[in-house]
């Protein structure tokens, strides 16, 4: 078998490139599509508060841990653990992450395909003059049709593969740097339109006025899963990206910036969606379709709505793309570094397998919705297993590894760039990754499983 030449590993070329790529990975459908739909089903403001707590107390430490493992290991998630602790079972965490990448991308590409359809409808002015109920119907017709969602999904996977194939510097970094800032400006404009709709106040209350009686063990687990998912952590995406970060760049600052940007976009997405949801009389617990029926309605209420809608869906496609490439990159880095196959072949094989699983996810949201596995559709099963089980489990072992196995000296060395940076937070960080984060994740898990009751 051909061996991968590690001296030829690709890397990010600049600080701003890293932040753009990592933020590009974090910011995506998780913020715009998943957060509103999951928050809508899990109590709105109360969910948001728990989510924010988890981002700070668990998300940022896990993110820093992933960067540390990646940059120190200089490998894909499996290879990094294996190199740092040879002959020990830690590399299984890497394998679990790679499995999660397959699952996540399979269901993510379903939704990404939907965004392409919505971009196409924006171009062809397909939303014009439609009432909220007509928009709802239009969405379900599209979903039930079966063929178009699958075609768009394949197109999306093809786009993802093409960028990944081009490599880190010329592919991922180049696109992320230009497009993410434009996206931010656009959401801001949509927020302004949404909160000035008549009846918007109720939506803002839903998002910001907590009703703590809505909190259940499941809501807490959902918030944890969503925080990890949104930050792209728990499965090795940021181990992989971390391995492309140069030894001179600052890991802590990168992690703070990425987490801050991602959280900002999540809150903005909430502000954009919920006022409109209530103004249009849509059920906030509507589910996966929520933003697809809400957003076109907002555009109907905007002067120049045709262009706003066009721009928005274009950028949403791109935001999704900068996330899907980061997921595919995990698998491709693993295949090419560990199996010694060329990057091109690794990309083709990974894309083909994921697309096939993904097609079943897409169909399970439409024509095959009655086919259930363990009482759930294929889509929900993969979504739940990866986001609420694999990511928290991955996050748990990642912090345990950094806290207890890698050794404080090594961690400090990595986070301070061998003492060049001060890294004053190191003691606090160690307490969090050794005790606070793992205990919190374990409690949430056991609580949800009913093994621990409060
Ligand atoms: N964070 C991405 C989003 O919010 C999704 C993602 C999850 C990407 C896990 C990589 C790893 O859209």
Residue count (the chain) = 454
Nearest partner of 401 among 81, 175, 147, 177, judged by Cα: 81
Q: What are the average pLDDT values for consecutive 10-residue runs of the chain, which has 454 residues?
A: 75 79 94 98 97 97 98 97 97 97 98 98 94 95 94 97 82 71 88 94 97 93 97 97 93 95 96 96 96 94 91 90 94 95 95 98 92 91 95 98 96 95 93 97 86 70
Residue 415 maps to a domain: no
160 CB within 6 A, ligand 1: no
294 CB within 6 A, ligand 1: no
Identify whether the C-beta of residue 83 lies closer than 8 Å to the C-beta of residue 288: no
26 CB within 6 A, ligand 1: yes
> What gap in Å lies between CA 316 and CA 325, rounded to an integer?
14
Identify whether the C-beta of residue 51 lies closer than 8 Å to the C-beta of residue 419: no
The pLDDT score that the predictor gives to residue 16 is 78
Indicate which residue's Cα is closest to atom 10 of ligand 1: 232
Contacts of 133 (CB under 8 A, 6+ apart): none
230 CB within 6 A, ligand 1: yes
The pLDDT score that the predictor gives to residue 449 is 78
Pocket-testing residue among 22, 23, 27, 28, ligand 1, by greatest number of atoms within 8 A of Cβ: 28
Count of the separate structural domains present in the chain: 1
DSSP 3-state of 53: helix
Residue 401 maps to a domain: no
Q: Which atom of ligand 1 is nearest to the CA of 29?
A: 12
Structural domain that includes position 22: 6-368
Indicate which residue's Cα is closest to atom 2 of ligand 1: 26
Pocket-testing residue among 21, 227, 229, ligand 1, by greatest number of atoms within 8 A of Cβ: 229
Residue 450 maps to a domain: no
DSSP 3-state of 143: helix
DSSP 3-state of 407: coil
Q: What are phi and psi of 243, to 5 degrees?
A: -70, -15
Residue 245 maps to a domain: yes
Identify whether the C-beta of residue 228 lies closer than 8 Å to the C-beta of residue 196: no
The pLDDT score that the predictor gives to residue 399 is 98
C-alpha of residue 181 to centroid of ligand 1, in Å: 18
C-alpha of residue 326 to centroid of ligand 1, in Å: 8
Residue 428 maps to a domain: no
Identify whether the C-beta of residue 143 lies closer than 8 Å to the C-beta of residue 149: yes
The pLDDT score that the predictor gives to residue 168 is 66
Q: Which atom of ligand 1 is nearest to the CA of 326?
A: 10
pTM of the model: 0.95
The CA-atom distances, in angstroms, between 224 and each of 7, 68, 295 are 38, 22, 26
The pLDDT score that the predictor gives to residue 171 is 64
Residue 441 maps to a domain: no
Contacts of 314 (CB under 8 A, 6+ apart): 119, 122
Residue 350 maps to a domain: yes
CATH code for the domain of 299: 1.10.4160.10
The DSSP string of 315-353 is: HHHHHHHHHHHHHHHHHHHHHHHHS---HHHHHHHHHHH
C-alpha of residue 343 to centroid of ligand 1, in Å: 22
Q: Which atom of ligand 1 is nearest to the CA of 231?
A: 1
Residue 301 maps to a domain: yes
Contacts of 245 (CB under 8 A, 6+ apart): 11, 12, 18, 67, 70, 71, 251, 254
Other CB atoms within 10 A of residue 32 CB = 28
């Amino acid at each position: 078998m051909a061996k991968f030449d590690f001296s030829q590993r690709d890397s990010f070329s600049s600080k701003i490139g890293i932040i753009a790529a990592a933020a590009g990975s974090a910011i995506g459908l998780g913020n715009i599509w998943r957060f509103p739909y999951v928050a809508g089903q899990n109590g709105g403001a109360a969910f948001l508060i728990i989510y924010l707590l988890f981002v700070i107390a668990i998300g940022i430490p896990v993110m820093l841990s992933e960067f540390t493992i990646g940059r120190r290991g200089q490998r894909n998630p499996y290879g990094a653990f294996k190199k740092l602790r040879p002959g020990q079972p830690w590399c299984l965490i890497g394998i679990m992450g790679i499995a999660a990448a397959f699952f996540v991308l399979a269901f993510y590409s379903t939704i990404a395909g939907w965004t392409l359809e919505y971009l196409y409808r924006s171009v062809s002015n397909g939303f014009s003059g439609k009432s909220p109920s007509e928009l709802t119907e239009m969405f379900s017709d599209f979903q039930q049709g079966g063929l178009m969602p699958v075609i768009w999904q394949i197109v999306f996977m093809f786009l993802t593969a093409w960028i990944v194939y081009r490599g880190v510097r010329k592919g991922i970094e180049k696109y992320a740097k230009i497009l993410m800032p434009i996206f931010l400006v656009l959401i801001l404009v949509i927020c302004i339109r949404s909160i000035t709709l008549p009846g918007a106040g109720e939506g803002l209350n839903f998002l910001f006025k907590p009703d703590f009686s809505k909190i259940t063990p499941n809501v807490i687990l959902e918030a944890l899963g969503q925080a990890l998912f949104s930050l792209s952590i728990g499965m090795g995406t940021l181990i992989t990206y971390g391995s492309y970060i140069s030894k001179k760049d600052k890991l802590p600052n990168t992690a703070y910036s990425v987490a801050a940007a991602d959280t900002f976009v999540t809150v903005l997405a909430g502000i954009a969606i919920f006022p409109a949801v209530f103004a249009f009389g849509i059920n906030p617990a509507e589910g996966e379709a929520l933003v697809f029926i809400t957003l076109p309605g907002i555009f109907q209420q905007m002067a120049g709505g045709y262009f706003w809608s066009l721009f928005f869906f274009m950028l949403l496609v791109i935001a999704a793309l900068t996330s899907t490439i980061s997921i595919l990159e995990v698998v491709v880095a693993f295949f090419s570094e560990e199996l010694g196959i060329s990057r091109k072949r690794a990309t083709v094989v990974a894309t083909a397998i994921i697309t096939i699983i993904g097609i079943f996810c897409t169909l399970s949201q439409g024509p095959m919705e009655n086919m259930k596995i363990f009482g759930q559709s294929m889509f929900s099963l993969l979504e739940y297993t990866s986001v609420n089980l694999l990511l928290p489990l991955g996050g748990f072992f990642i912090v345990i590894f950094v806290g207890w196995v890698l050794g404080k000296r090594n961690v400090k060395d990595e986070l301070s760039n061998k003492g060049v940076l001060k890294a004053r937070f190191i003691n606090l960080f160690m307490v969090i990754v050794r005790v606070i984060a793992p205990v919190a994740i374990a409690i949430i898990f056991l609580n949800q499983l009913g093994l621990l009751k409060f």
